[in-house]
Amino acid sequence: MQRRNLEAAARTGWPVAAPLIPVLVITLLSAVGSAAQQRTVILMLVNVVLVVGLYIFVGNSGIISFGHVTFMAIGAYVSGLLTIPLITKNAMFPHLPGVIADAQLGTVPGTILPALLAGAVALVISIPIMRLAGLAASIATFALLLIANVVLGQAGTSTFIGLPLDTTLGSSLGWAVVAVVIAAVFQNSRVGLRLKASRDDELAARAAGVSVERERRIAFVISAFVVGIGGALYGHLQGAFSPETFYLQATFLMVVMLVVGGINSLGGAVIGTVAVSIILEGLRRIEEGVNLGVVNIPARPGLREVGLGILLLVILNFRPQGILGAREIAWPLRRRRRMPPASDHSDLGPDPVTGRSAARQEA
């Protein structure tokens, strides 16, 4: 009996733990590496937090969001305002309101408070936006990104500096695990399951009594909270940023990481982030110029981004469901009863007549 319980626990816990194994291995390896290597790995861990945060909304609702960088920006800017040493802060922003001007928070509250604010902002934004579905919602999130860029450009200084550099290997790993656990708990909760049902078939879910807008709003807020944490961590890793940091480039990177791993899978979000981070690191070395003795490839800024874009195009072309598809990583030991494979209509390919996918036809 106890053995069966253990096995059940392993089966539930494994999909969450498995994608974290490569993350853990890379982190441990880098702990003995150089400072530069550690920085790269910390950035990867921060990206895990950001992409898992994005996944909580996008993966479960099926609506791609181009606006989540807004919450990353809120995390980074607000965390900066709350944690920059008082002397620097009062010199940089002499007109802050009293509470913020005097605030000098530690690392953990300086990460959580901005994330809560990001969640609160998301709640307000979700009231209009979550009434929309599909493409219209995506366009609205794109508008959100543009609005955030204008507001940051107007309200903020062009560069924001002086954040304490306290995102360490340990803290970023801890937050990455927290993010994955939040996502796992959410997607197996009632709200998460109802939202997934609406993603797979919105009409049927509505007919079964699911309040799709409500579930989407909840996911949006939790997602913004986690992305806000990622933003705060990012701010404390870089120490400085500008409004352009939180614009199309960052949006694109998050989308690539999610799509490469598999947009509908938590394991995919983590694996995709790791895979893209490794590829980016390789591309960065090429971009800086490669001297192979005979062949000398000169430094070419922009090459890394071109490689990243082509990677996404190739994935969309040959494996649009991403590395993991909609699956999670299953417990490897034999199963007691065989489950039917998850129906995945994308294997059928597009309808020869309309070119639309079979899944759409049935809907």
Partner 1 sequence: MVFAAVDLQYIVQNVIDAVSLGSLYALIALGIALIFGIMQLVNLAYGELIMVAGYLILLLAGAPWPLVVVLAVAGTALFAFGMERVAFRPVRGADATTLMVTSFAVSYVLQNLAIVIAGSEPQPIELGGSLIKPLDVLGIRVPKLDLITMGTSLVLVIGLVLFLKRTSLGIQMRAAAEDLRTARLLGVRVNGVIAAAFIISGLLAAAIALLLVVQTGSVSPMMGVTPLIVGIMAAVIGGMGRLAGAAVGGFLLGCVTIALQATLPADIRGYRDAMVYALIIAVLVFRPQGLLAGRAPRQV
Closer of 94 and 302 to partner 1 (Cβ) = 302
State the minimum distance, in angstroms, from the CB of residue 110 to partner 1: 27
Tokens of 255: 């989308």
Report how far apart, in Å, the C-alpha atoms of 227 and of each of 27, 185, 207 are: 21, 16, 32
Closer of 112 and 133 to partner 1 (Cβ) = 133
Closer of 180 and 253 to partner 1 (Cβ) = 253
State the minimum distance, in angstroms, from the CB of residue 191 to partner 1: 22
CA distance 259 to 329: 16
Buried b (16+ CB within 10 A) or exposed e, 146-176: eebbeebeeebeeebeebbeebbbebbbebb
Nearest alpha carbon to residue 122 among 156, 186, 74? 74
CB neighbours of residue 85 within 10 Å = 12
CA distance 173 to 171: 5
Closer of 83 and 141 to partner 1 (Cβ) = 141
Closer of 178 and 312 to partner 1 (Cβ) = 312
Residue numbers at the binding site for partner 1 (CB under 8 A): 62-64, 66, 128-129, 131-132, 134-136, 138-140, 142-144, 146-147, 150-151, 153-154, 248, 252, 255-256, 259, 300-303, 305-306, 308-310, 312-313, 316-317, 320, 350-351, 353-357, 360
State the minimum distance, in angstroms, from the CB of residue 314 to partner 1: 9
State the minimum distance, in angstroms, from the CB of residue 253 to partner 1: 10
Q: Is 157 helix (H, G, I), strand (E, B) or coil?
A: coil
State the minimum distance, in angstroms, from the CB of residue 153 to partner 1: 8
State the alpha helices, DSSP H only, in the chain: 2-17, 20-31, 35-61, 69-83, 86-92, 98-102, 109-129, 134-155, 169-188, 190-200, 202-207, 212-238, 248-261, 266-287, 303-318, 358-362
State the minimum distance, in angstroms, from the CB of residue 312 to partner 1: 4
Closer of 142 and 331 to partner 1 (Cβ) = 142
